[in-house]
Amino acid sequence: MQAARRIIIKVGSSLVTNEGRGVDLEAVSRWAGQIAGLRAAGKDVILVSSGAIAEGMRRLGWSQRPREMHQLQAAAAVGQMGLAQAYETAFRQRGMVAAQVLLTHADLADRQRYLNARTTLLTLLEQGVVPVINENDTVVTDEIKFGDNDTLGALVTNLVEGDVLIILTDQSGLYSADPRKHADATLIAQADAEDATLQAMAGGAGTGIGTGGMATKVTAARRAARSGAHTVIASGREPDVLIRLAQGEIVGTQLLAGHAKLAARKQWMADHLQLRGWVRVDDGAARRLRAQGASLLPVGVVEVQGDFERGDVIAVQDSGGAEIARGLSNYAASQARRIMRRPSSDIEAILGFSEEPELIHRDNMVFL
């Protein structure tokens, strides 16, 4: 934790809304204060906050969580206003700027939107802004719904290559069984995130407010581990929990990633993505890619094949046709053909806009 540079913090509905009684402004203010401390210590922080549906239900005077999707969506639309307002106020009081980002599963499954979401989040972090993310409940349907924000937290961790995912909930961590039902359950202090026995310990949601329970948190930890991130599950009511964690104190449950970051990312690229085209590069570019793992600039590209879009995976070949790398292209094939062999400073003049100076950024590239 002390070494973690980029931290994703997920807070659950029951915490945020004080068990459904309405946004807990004091809790939000406490977290904002702690996040200000983390930022001051040089860490990037992204917050994933649930609570829109619970807050919306309160504002609409509904005492029971509706089953109908459109009613849940309507409640979320109402409640998201309350959430945004609470975070905006809490961060502003500490001289910080917050940003609202609403995402769906489809956004991260689509390569182009994936890249856009990634670039936006990284830009916000660079600007010192704290992104506050929730699922875009208004537009999701059953099939594409994240279902729970624990999953969203893990996907965001993968997306921005977070070092640690902290899941704050209403229990002190993962217990050997649901402590609401088993008084003798014991807290798991540390485990391998991919330990298959964890799933059997984790039950469903404990209140009518939250949705995933521990089961989705354990799955989220496994997902986060795939890109090399560790997960902590801890109580959001524990005083100074974020600061103490960042200082290296053991609080709650630590679910550790076994993979190194790069290996996991390579595996992800290799396993999940289809090749949509390739580019051939000159000898200078091939050398820089091989020796330094550098980004690929359009100036080093001599040929573009295939019909790919921005965000598609393409191969990079040397002059002899040997594959050097694969990665996500920042430009469509037709655009790449126009900017190849040209310096990045010319991109805007040629295309009328400039996404990024690189054709493929090194972070989005797997070297073979």
Ligand X SMILES: N[C@@H](CCC(=O)OP(=O)(O)O)C(=O)O
Ligand Y SMILES: Nc1ncnc2c1ncn2[C@@H]1O[C@H](COP(=O)(O)OP(=O)(O)O)[C@@H](O)[C@H]1O
Which CB atom, from 204 or from 284, has the smaller least distance to ligand Y? 204
Q: CA torsion, points 359, 128, 55, 102, in degrees to nearest 10?
A: -10
> Is 18 near ligand X (CB under 6 A)?
no
Region label for 147, one of left (φ > 0), alpha (ψ between -120 and 50) or beta (otherwise):
left
Q: Which stretch binds ligand Y (CB under 6 A): 8-16, 157-165, 339-347, 360-368?
A: 8-16
Which CB atom, from 13 or from 295, has the smaller least distance to ligand X? 13
Nearest Cα to 80, choosing from 117, 43, 134, 154?
Answer: 134
> Is 157 near ligand X (CB under 6 A)?
no
With tokens 């991130």, the residue in question is 229
> Is 180 near ligand Y (CB under 6 A)?
yes
Which member of 25, 106, 122, 177 binds ligand Y (CB under 6 A)?
A: 177
Using CA atoms, how far apart are residues 78 and 130, in angstroms rounded to an integer? 22
> Is 191 near ligand Y (CB under 6 A)?
no
Site for ligand Y in 214-243 (CB under 6 A): 214
285, two tokens? 């570019």
Amino acid present at 275? L
Phi, psi of 235 (to 5 degrees): -80, 130
180 binds, among ligand Y, ligand X, none (CB under 5 to 8 A by kind): ligand Y
Amino acid present at 63? S
53 binds, among ligand X, ligand Y, none (CB under 5 to 8 A by kind): ligand X
Which CB atom, from 202 or from 347, has the smaller least distance to ligand X? 202
> Is 170 near ligand X (CB under 6 A)?
no
> Is 135 near ligand X (CB under 6 A)?
yes
Phi, psi of 325 (to 5 degrees): -160, 165
Provide the 8-state DSSP code for 360.
B
Q: How many residues bind ligand X (CB under 6 A)?
A: 16
**Chain centroid, CA 342 distance in Å:** 34
> Is 208 near ligand Y (CB under 6 A)?
no
Instruction: List residues near ligand X by CB under 6 A.
Output: 12-13, 50-54, 76, 134-135, 137, 148-149, 210-212
